[in-house]
Structure 1
């Protein structure tokens, strides 16, 4: 889906359309100078914006209009209809906007407007002198980008222990790994973006300590960097096998661009792979390798794939989907050792393998926070504004455990979009805005041509309600506890996924 966009179909909006064709709350897809344009009417106001989401090109004409915003049906990005500004991740780039006028009973779309920088919000008068971001993933990048978008003028130092620019991590296990997306699509921004925006991005930077008393970040080489405000966005790292043979060069984990490149390189010559773990990452890897023609065996201790998150019905469907594409499952089993060209299982089976990919989970990288004395609870505890127990230090992304208004619990999730949105919110709050983070968690997973969207957060449920037909790839699944919907999973019901997200937002 990455990079696709709607065709320039519908009426030529330079010639205009009848006002009667666009009732209040309606939308109409047309084009102007060859570009697809979406017309939206909200009361007496009429807006004209680019018809394709700036993230992966999702068709905004099929999205949801909420007040004066439009939400993308694919991955729930949100845009301001007046300015085109990207209000919610995963989109970062704004939409193009066109001038609109009414001439008699017709709506005419005029010239494309120049992109304007959004007006900064009125924040705290105590603007931070310097901001340091520890982490080069989704949350760290989103924070840096938002700080500059808010026209913060002070220095921003972004410390990443990765050797690559911040990348679109979901693509590492999806389109890029499958060979259907080029590497050029992966960087969230090209190298020149950082210099142009005064973001001091330091790759390969290893942080040894947070000196809370001195308000310093200490690198492993002894360099000290003072901060006025700090964002911890250290993310998570893959859980690694400890069984004999797990240190061999053909055994892979997947977290970074380097990891994905390594798997791709080996998939070029390997005929058979074993994937350990039936998680989202594990099965996305299995789908990508099957797309490349590699025989795949999946070994996992679970009774069904992804049952812990998606329940038994969806678990059975996901297994059947992968089996249709030739994946062989070895469930309720685990690997005990890895040989030169095989994997030995607890059941006594031996599977031939020329490459092994482990997807047995991740663990949050909490060492810096723990050593600095921040309050912890299976993650870094933050308040509603994502500030830790040490004033001026914020946390976002995989490490943050925050008070979620939708479940009335402190939760921690490891979703890309959540990390991006938390990074943006933390940026605003480092500037003194005190905006609570209230977004409903969202993620998507891709298996061959089947997308699964998931909104909400359910660590447990007492009822599952299925609308539609899962096997027919047309369904909505509600996960409920004591009668309340905690989460919704959908397949090819994008509009209903957006509606479910909105309902959760308003039910607080």
Structure 2
């Protein structure tokens, strides 16, 4: 056990022997929350809150993996190196502040100020990166490039006028806010881009040639770079029905969509939502919290049964019904109609049995399609997403080399898993992919693509899902589904392939970094 002379800038927090090996212990360092972790004979101290959303890290997980020990955030599963606090995986985009530790006469002393990190060595000054898009994948790539010392030019193209923002907030929190506060938080502030020399260009990408790495914008501007990341995300899918383009018919994919909806909300309104997926259910939750009447039209009786299974899907429907949401199940919208005198503004929806349901406005939540039509010559999956290898490099006719210097990430991409390309529409997955692409551009070793993780928040209840979206044939449930404190293991051909949980943040954090190891531990402990 290391020994050293105590310093006045340190505080005595604990006896070394009082620290349980591998357990995250919270302390107050003169009013500042920190966590202390004993890892064998070593002790490490870090900021007590995740730099992403200030989650209390003592509620997360400390895990020993093949590549070393890590600390996992309980809320959004950011992963940090448990020795030096460096970022391993998003959602956080910053390292975890580390505090100096001394062990003197069996006591653990922690310094009052975080340790300074060495600036990365500048490299690739004469190279350039072009980021097509400004969502989770593109911002993660930009942050990673600068954090790793990339000193060349970075250009980011976005259709939206505002700073890149947290899209997950649109259905979860923005709609709950009064109209003047209905804004998604920016992922990074304006100073980040200016101080790090990241040029933001507003425009619509009309064409991209992977052979020349040249992008052409709708206004005729042409851009090219040594490295190009296709990260234009997805566009909202609209059903092919009459009236879908009327006024009063909304989608919820961009901040402007949420702002328009929030501006017209009134408790006296009755709204119809078409679709009972993540967006539809989260939007219903937010609208009901604003006092708005909500009816959900769904072609299935049980919402999200494909993702969560029958039992959890039934409980989700019950949760919504308990909070005043009405469901019209096994129904299909065949028309959006406008009453006479409404000036072409939607008055409601007509169902396949002829029933008409009036509504103040209609919200479509029927999914998205990859925004990749402007790219030619690349391998696609059946949805139109660009197929990439484990380094996010595009493929061509089965050639994993594809076109040198061209990458894709986020909703626009599909990465191979179990022999088939899979497109994952999750924020964390997009950030992970953007980070991997940036590391590949710099010639660094890239980590394996982790199992995708997602969360949904509805009427104050949070459910986490870990998996690749594969079909399952059995669900092993443990705990209290009604009280939203459960774990669900999804099984295919006798093998676990996915996990869902509510009220089990630490377990889900552990599984997020070592799925198989967690299941073995759980089986051994009898949980």
TM-score (norm 1): 0.91
2:489 is aligned to 478
Please tell me whether residue 27 in structure 1 is matched to residue 40 in structure 2: no
| 1:446 aligns to 2:449 (yes or no) | no
Residues 277 and 303 in structure 2, CA contact (< 8 A), matched pair in contact too:
yes
Please tell me whether the aligned partners of residues 386 and 437 of structure 1 are also in contact (alpha carbons under 8 angstroms): no
CA distance in 2: counterparts of 1:265 and 1:505, whole angstroms: 47
1:303 alignment partner in structure 2: 301
Q: Which residue of 2 aligns with 1:387?
A: 393
How much does 1:183 deviate? Answer: 5.3
SS at match of 1:112: coil
Offset, 1:57? 2.1
CA distance in 2, matches of 1:256, 1:154: 30
Secondary structure, aligned partner of 1:169: coil
Q: Aligned-pair distance for 1:272?
A: 0.8
**Residue 162 of structure 1: CA displacement?**
1.9
Give distance in 2, aligned partners of 1:381 and 1:167: 26
Mark the CA change 1:115 to 1:177 in structure 2 (over 3 Å): closer, same or farther.
Answer: farther
Measured at CA, do residues 257 and 290 of structure 1 come closer, stay the same or move farther in structure 2, by a change above 3 Å?
same
Whole-angstrom distance in 1 between the partners of 2:334 and 2:28 = 59
Summarize deviations over 1:264-289 as a string: whole Å, max 9, x none: 11214751111110010000000000
Kindly indicate whether the alpha-carbon contact (under 8 Å) linking 2:26 and 2:34 is maintained by their aligned counterparts in 1.
Answer: yes
Q: Equivalences for 1:96-175 in 2 at 5 Å?
A: 96-117=97-118, 119=120, 129-175=127-173
C-alpha distance in 1, partners of 2:12/2:405? 54
Matched, 1:364 2:364: no
| Alignment partner, residue 71 of structure 1 | 72
State whether residues 211 and 403 of structure 2, in contact with CA within 8 Å, keep that contact through their aligned partners in structure 1.
no
Match of 1:5 in 2: none
Tell me if the contact between 1:456 and 1:504 (Cα under 8 Å) persists in the aligned partners: no
Instruction: Choose the corresponding residue for 1:315, options 313, 316, 337.
Output: 313
**Distance change (3 Å), C-alpha of 1:241 and 1:88:** same
Of 251-260 and 67-76, deviating more is 67-76
Structure 1 residue 87: Cα displacement: 2.3
What residue number does 1:492 align with?
503
Q: Tell me whether 1:396 sits opposite 2:400 in the alignment.
A: no
Deviations 1:262-318 (A, max 9, x none): 111121475111111001000000000001000100001112101121111111011
In structure 1, the residue matched to 2:433 is 422
Aligned counterparts of 1:38 and 1:233: Cα–Cα separation in 2: 36
* Residue number among 35, 39, 42 corresponding to 1:38 in the alignment: 35
What is the SS of the residue equivalent to 1:173? helix
Q: Which runs of 4+ in 1 moved over 6 A?
A: 125-128
CA deviation profile, 1:37-68 (whole Å, cap 9, x unmatched): 11111112211111111222222101111243
| Corresponding residue of 1:8 | none
Q: Is the 8 A contact 1:173 1:284 kept in 2?
A: yes
Q: Is the 8 A contact 2:167 2:184 kept in 1?
A: no
In structure 1, the residue matched to 2:187 is 188
Could you say if the C-alpha distance between residues 118 and 60 of structure 1 is closer, same or farther in structure 2, counting changes exceeding 3 Å?
farther
5+ residue gaps, structure 1:
1-12
Distance 1:177 1:64 in 2: 32
CA distance in 1, matches of 2:147, 2:479: 42
Report if aligned partners of 2:410, 2:431 keep a CA contact under 8 Å in 1: yes
- Equivalent residues of 1:96, 1:112 under 8 A apart: no
> Which whole-Å CA distance do the structure 2 matches of 1:215 and 1:243 have between them?
38
**Per the alignment, do residues 153 and 254 of structure 1 end up closer, same or farther by CA in structure 2, a change over 3 Å counting?**
same
**Cα offset, 1:86, TM superposition:** 2.9
Match of 1:350 in 2: 356
Q: How far does residue 487 in structure 1 lie from its aligned partner after superposition?
A: 0.7
- Which whole-Å CA distance do the structure 1 matches of 2:126 and 2:478 have between them? 50
Counterpart position of 1:235 = 233
Query: More deviation in 482-491 or 95-104?
Result: 95-104
Tell me which of 482, 485, 502 is aligned to 2:513: 502
Would the alpha carbon gap of residues 329 and 200 (structure 1) be closer, same or farther in structure 2, given more than 3 Å must change? same
Aligned residues: 488
Q: Any idea what SS the aligned residue of 1:144 has? A: helix
> 1 CA distance for matches of 2:44 and 2:144?
25
Mark the runs of 5 or more structure 2 residues left unpaired by the alignment: 1-9, 339-346, 395-401, 519-527
Provide the residue aligned with 1:80 in structure 2. Answer: 81
SS of the equivalent of 2:112 reads: strand
Tell me the equivalent position of 1:201: 200
Q: TM-score, normalised by structure 2?
A: 0.88
Moved more, 42-51 or 256-265: 42-51
| Structure 1 counterpart SS, 2:391 | coil
- Contact 1:22/1:28, CA 8 A, preserved across alignment: yes
Kept in 2: contact 1:73–1:494 (CA 8 A): yes
Measured in 2, the distance between the counterparts of 1:365 and 1:113 equals: 43
User: 2:121, 2:268 → 1: CA distance?
Assistant: 53
